[in-house]
Amino acid sequence: MSDRTPLMAGNWKMNLNHLEAIAHVQKLAFALAEKDYEAVEVAVLPPFTDLRSVQTLVDGDKLKIKYGAQDISAHDSGAYTGEISGPMLSKLKCTYVAIGHSERRQYHAETDEICNGKVKAAFRNDLTPILCVGEGLDIRKAGQQVPYTLAQLDGALEDVPAEQAETIVIAYEPVWAIGTGEVATPEDAQEVCGAIRGRLAELYSQELADKVRIQYGGSVKSGNVAAIMAQPDVDGALIGGAALDADEFVKIVRFRDQ
């Protein structure tokens, strides 16, 4: 068992308006107990329009739930209509920002180079990136999931120094398992998460690689989370659909009880 604290992060995607966000976080806060926060770090990634409401609630009630955004601009300010900057997110006291989620890569043509700019913007603004990587079904069928995912990792980490990289979170999300109910087996998750840790050791050092938390994402639910978390290189989960149900999310946080 590593001494990395598991990170359970709920990616709400484009769901829950700011009023629903308040109700949802209140429900989580009511259900979660001190011992949950001691065992697991709990985070939510709401849409941008919810962040101020979540911040007000978390600050006002001194909640231990962390929060962050689902994307970030590579630029800190300027004429970039529709974008949200790192300084804006850190002003809202965000801890995390997801970068390179497969839905951003697919629908917004985000390349590894764009992800690299966003990773640097996050670090420049004291935000912790949750860098998402993972292969599509065609790559998986060709047995190329490890080299494909490691190439994404290499691209997104280019010129990122060790003192920053040691705090990053990597989310391995096989695209074919996202929102499909098709969960990767624990062995599938371990294969790629282990390879990611190995690459971090090559790029930086074993000591750094041992510090980095690597999440699995893709149809995680209370019923399958324990087996995935039992893998030595899986340090948490990035949860989509199941994170929209507060009771189910709390059960996932309590994966050791499942």
Ligand X SMILES: O=C[C@H](O)COP(=O)(O)O
Minimum distance of ligand X from residue 130's CB (angstroms): 9
Q: Could you confirm whether 101 is annotated as catalytic? A: yes
Q: How many CB atoms within 10 Å of residue 166?
A: 16
106 vs 144 by CB, closer to ligand X: 106
14 vs 79 by CB, closer to ligand X: 14
Which backbone phi and psi does 27 adopt, to 5 degrees? -65, -45
> Which 69-98 positions form the footprint of ligand X (CB under 6 A)?
none
- List the one residue from 220, 246, 250, 253 that touches ligand X (CB under 6 A): 220
The verdict on 149 binding ligand X (CB under 6 A) reads no
147 vs 179 by CB, closer to ligand X: 179
Given 103, 135, 173, 248, which residue is catalytic?
173
Nearest to 25 by CA among 202, 176, 244, 209: 244
> Which 5-24 positions form the footprint of ligand X (CB under 6 A)?
11
The verdict on 68 binding ligand X (CB under 6 A) reads no
Provide long-range contacts, Cβ within 8 A and 24+ apart, for 211-214.
211/4, 211/166, 212/4, 212/165, 212/166, 212/168, 212/169, 212/170, 213/4, 213/5, 213/6, 213/7, 213/169, 213/170, 214/169, 214/170, 214/171, 214/172
By CB under 6 A, which span of 15-23, 81-89, 115-123, 173-181 interacts with ligand X?
173-181
> The tokens of 178 are what?
């996202």
Q: How many angstroms separate the CA atoms of 108 and 5, rounded? A: 32
> Which 96-115 positions form the footprint of ligand X (CB under 6 A)?
101
Residue 158 DSSP symbol: T
Q: Is 11 annotated as a binding residue?
A: yes
Q: How many CB atoms within 10 Å of residue 35?
A: 9
The verdict on 246 binding ligand X (CB under 6 A) reads no
List the binding residues.
Answer: 11-13, 179, 219, 240-241
**Known binding-site positions for substrate:** 11-13, 179, 219, 240-241
- Give the residue numbers marked as catalytic: 101, 173
Positions touching ligand X (CB under 6 A) are 11, 101, 173, 178-179, 217-220, 238-242
